[in-house]
Chain A
Amino acid sequence: MKSLKFTMLACAVAAVAACSNAKNEGMYGDGSGGYGSGYGNGASGLPSDPHSAAYFQQAVGDRVLFAVDQQSLSDEARATLTAQADWLTKNPDFTAVIEGHADEQGTREYNLALGARRANAVREYLISRGVSGSRLKTVSYGKERPLEICSAESCYAKNRRAVTVLASGLTG
């Protein structure tokens, strides 16, 4: 009998790598790392205080929505963003991360790129309304953080969004 020998290398046992927490200190999100903050919860301060992040989130409106596979801003989105820009101009101590999101009807990589387009469209608009670009970062979560979880257009419409998440800036 022909014999062929080989040695089995012990498969290296993978220990769990320690990963630092992504949570960004000073972020006025909903406490889940800043992404996709839910409607009307989490942001600090009282909504009655017009200089609070809570007021920005609830009274000004922290998000805009997009059509399928689009990053163009609707009239409604422009109105919201104009109000955001005014608020940011009056409250210069805040910086913001603009989070772009996509609905689940797309491939993972494409949706990351699409979310980046949306976040950037918002950033460009805020800059055009006088907000300094140095105060505005962007990030895309693609389809990783839907707000609504049904698989229907009623949910998808809310998930195709860009959310302006405030962070403490100069006074942070």
Chain B
Amino acid sequence: MTRLLLTVLLGWAVLTQAAAAQNGPLRIEITEGVIEPMPYAVPDFVPDTPAAADLSRELGRVIAADLSGTGLFREVPASAYISKIDNFDAPIQFADWKAVNAQALITGAVSVSGSRLTVRFRVWDVFSGAELGSGLQFSGTSEGWRRMAHKVADAVYSRITGEGGYFDSRVVFVSESGPKNDRKKRLAIMDYDGANVQYLTDSASIVLAPRFSPTGDRVLYTSFETGFPRIYVLDVGQVKRRVLETREGTMSFAPRFSPNGRTVVFSLEQGGNTDIYEMDIASGQQTRLTNAPSIETAPSYSPDGSQIVFESDRSGTQQLYIMPARGGEARRISFGQGRYGTPVWSPRGDMIAFTKQNQGRFHIGVMRTDGSEERLLTASFLDEGPTWAPNGRVIMFTRESKGAAGQATLYTVDITGRNLRPVRTPGGASDPSWSPLQN
């Protein structure tokens, strides 16, 4: 069977086509930030029932936005099409799709019965005329149609790149409004692409840095609602929250879940000194993990839960360190020029994303867990707070613009540094945390 395989690795993407005899080997190479995206067509899905007419168009638009948004694919516009797909099971006229230079073709059919929506789709390798993988069918409520489109796009992405997808995911973030010196902040959650925004708190008090649980059902965040920073855990489905108790007179912030979801690692400040602690969520039992007069904060677990990466200014400036999850000797991993903060372990376990400050500029970067292969992906007046897509290939972060009218915006960028783009949100947005793929 013909198989398109697009591998994205360390700035290189290689497209191979096993049975490309008629055209020679099909190949995309990404070097130094240059990539030729793979052209694909996603004609409107075929409505199997009259009620599906609108959704059959909308589904295709969301799928196209997902795929083209990666920067790895380019949609062939419908105006170029020579043939139509009006029967999902009829043979494809591959010559017509070759003629418009579509290398991949996504066909689908939609039926609506009551509130039930069913989507069938297939992915075709146009040049070999073979199906890529097998056709799939997803069913759900009409209300969840966008999720179904993301599921289709994830399947297409996965089959063509050989990587896991990330479109059927959500982002929890801080929604911002108002001037810089009186900014209103509230927790919000949305689909990864900015759709379906819902607010989780009001804006009566400052909220900071929400973090998803490993299953995406809970969120940790810091709120000033008592007048002092405290960590809260919020049940996303029920919008119920409770404070994680810490001693009076201390500040607690920068929380993250452990991979098993039972423990929180966070910063606790007392007497002006900030160290890292862990807390068992059920019992409230706290264990101190660092004990130094310097600032230790922004801890993040490795995916296997055995180690914690964090930032400390024990050397005199902010740098990144890794220590065992139970505390103990830490080894420094950042050695470049400037200051390093907000490290986040990738879901694949192979990289650390971070914020870097150097010579008045801020960068989002990635490095291997031993500190090697540091790569800066962005540069601006103020970039910070990276979070990983579920497949570990894309990073979302906060970019704040300069000056009195400065506003925070969410951006995404590939780990190769390509495809920097803003995420559309209502008003300002900061401190994103990307969920795992939904079930």
Which A positions have Cβ atoms within 8 angstroms of B?
A: 1-22, 24, 32-34, 36, 71, 97, 104-110, 112-114, 116-117, 119-121, 123-124, 137-141, 144-151
Query: A109, B209: Cβ atoms under 8 Å?
Result: yes
Rounded to whole Å, the gap between the CB of B131 and the closest CB of chain A is 10
List 12 A–B pairs whose Cβ atoms lie within 8 Å, in order of A's numbering: A1-B120, A3-B137, A4-B138, A9-B439, A12-B238, A15-B239, A17-B240, A17-B241, A33-B227, A71-B272, A140-B229, A146-B181
Q: Report the bound CA distance from A11 to B439 in whole Å.
A: 11
**What residue in chain B is nearest A159 (Cβ atoms)?**
B181
Stretch at the interface among B35-43, B367-375, B396-404: B396-404
Q: A107 is contacted by which of B228, B239, B385 (Cβ under 8 Å)?
A: B385
Judge if B279 is at the interface, Cβ distance under 8 Å: no
Q: If A16-B201, A117-B272, A140-B269 touch, does A145 touch B181 (CB 8 Å cutoff)?
A: yes
Q: If A14-B236, A107-B385, A148-B181 touch, does A19 touch B272 (CB 8 Å cutoff)?
A: no
Q: If A8-B147, A140-B229, A149-B404 touch, does A108 touch B431 (CB 8 Å cutoff)?
A: yes
Q: If A8-B141, A17-B241, A32-B182 touch, does A151 touch B406 (CB 8 Å cutoff)?
A: yes
Query: B181, A116: Cβ atoms under 8 Å?
Result: no
**What residue in chain A is nearest B406 (Cβ atoms)?**
A151
**What residue in chain A is nearest B174 (Cβ atoms)?**
A108
Judge if B288 is at the interface, Cβ distance under 8 Å: no
Q: If A10-B143, A14-B199, A104-B400 touch, does A19 touch B204 (CB 8 Å cutoff)?
A: yes
Q: Quick one: CB contact mask for B275-297 with A, threshold 8 Å, 1 for yes?
A: 00000000000000000000101
Judge if B126 is at the interface, Cβ distance under 8 Å: no
Query: A5, B180: Cβ atoms under 8 Å?
Result: no
Q: B209 is contacted by which of A8, A19, A108, A139 (Cβ under 8 Å)?
A: A108
The A-B contact count (CB < 8 A) is 189
Query: A10, B141: Cβ atoms under 8 Å?
Result: yes
Q: What residues of A have a CB within 8 angstroms of the CB of B137 in the complex?
A: 1, 3-5
Q: Report the bound CA distance from A120 to B267 in whole Å.
A: 16
Q: What residues of A have a CB within 8 angstroms of the CB of B431 in the complex?
A: 108
**What residue in chain A is nearest B180 (Cβ atoms)?**
A149
Q: What residues of B have a CB within 8 angstroms of the CB of A123 in the complex?
A: 272
**What residue in chain A is nearest B385 (Cβ atoms)?**
A108
Q: What residues of A have a CB within 8 angstroms of the CB of B297 in the complex?
A: 109-110, 112-113
Q: Report the bound CA distance from A71 to B274 in whole Å.
A: 14
Within 8 A of A (CB), among B334-353: 341-342
Q: B180 is contacted by which of A106, A119, A120, A146 (Cβ under 8 Å)?
A: A146
Q: What residues of B have a CB within 8 angstroms of the CB of A10 in the complex?
A: 141, 143-144
**What residue in chain B is nearest A22 (Cβ atoms)?**
B205
Q: B200 is contacted by which of A14, A32, A109, A150 (Cβ under 8 Å)?
A: A14
Judge if B206 is at the interface, Cβ distance under 8 Å: yes
Judge if B249 is at the interface, Cβ distance under 8 Å: yes
Judge if B202 is at the interface, Cβ distance under 8 Å: yes
Q: Report the bound CA distance from A113 to B318 in whole Å.
A: 12
Q: Report the bound CA distance from A108 to B384 in whole Å.
A: 8
Q: Report the bound CA distance from A151 to B400 in whole Å.
A: 11
